[in-house]
A and B are shown apart, each in its own frame.
Chain A
Amino acid sequence: DQQVKQNSPSLSVQEGRISILNCDYTNSMFDYFLWYKKYPAEGPTFLISISSIKDKNEDGRFTVFLNKSAKHLSLHIVPSQPGDSAVYFCAASAAGGTSYGKLTFGQGTILTVHP
């Protein structure tokens, strides 16, 4: 039962263009969402997050949009750079408790940005 899904295993974009990575979730208890970036053989690094009380959060080139009614979120990277090439994981956290690192992850999307 995949509660967080990233249906696109890979995405290829040209440098300078927009990258849009998508994520869907099924658990209504999720109220906090995060995006992580990961290089091979390294740990994930945090990119950006959004609480369910918001529908948009922006940090530099990265913007996350949340559509609660559709249980869908997306990460926009503008402009895309070759250094953005990595695996991107969507993750979700449920309300309650203080185990904020107890996350449910999607399968990941491999982003390749071509010069």
Chain B
Amino acid sequence: DGGITQSPKYLFRKEGQNVTLSCEQNLNHDAMYWYRQDPGQGLRLIYYSQIVNDFQKGDIAEGYSVSREKKESFPLTVTSAQKNPTAFYLCASSGQVRGEAFFGQGTRLTVV
């Protein structure tokens, strides 16, 4: 089945630690995205990548880093510099034709 796989589904992090969230897609999409959702709020764009080895900051990139070494993979690292990392993180991808973006099932990150 084609789709986007995020792992893990739940992640707990101690204060001061970096954690990496995985996102893999087999839709052959060029573009990939990371969004963050907080309670009662819409999704906000963290980073996006249009092609391999290139990525751009979104609206809330501070405290996050990404890499795009392969077309299929777009991992997100939540660094200790992110002051309020507890949130629901969503990865998405989109193709060459204007239309929907496809989302993964999300990773819920909790700082303990």
Binding site for B on A (CB under 8 A): 4, 6, 9, 32, 34, 36, 41-46, 49, 51, 89, 91, 93, 97-108
Give the size of the chain B interface in residues (CB under 8 angstroms): 34
Interface residue ranges of B51-107 to A (CB < 8 Å): 58, 88, 90, 92-106
B residues near A89, Cβ cutoff 8 Å = 42-43
B-side interface mostly: strand
Q: Take A32-B98, A49-B99, A49-B100 as given contacts and tell me if A105 and B42 are in contact as well, using a CB distance cutoff of 8 Å.
A: yes
Binding site for A on B (CB under 8 A): 4, 6, 30-33, 35, 40-45, 48, 50, 58, 88, 90, 92-106, 108
Q: List 28 A-B contacts (CB under 8 A).
A: A4-B42, A6-B42, A36-B103, A43-B6, A43-B92, A43-B103, A43-B104, A43-B106, A44-B43, A89-B42, A89-B43, A91-B43, A93-B98, A98-B31, A98-B50, A99-B31, A100-B31, A100-B94, A101-B31, A101-B92, A101-B94, A101-B101, A101-B102, A102-B45, A105-B42, A107-B41, A107-B42, A108-B41
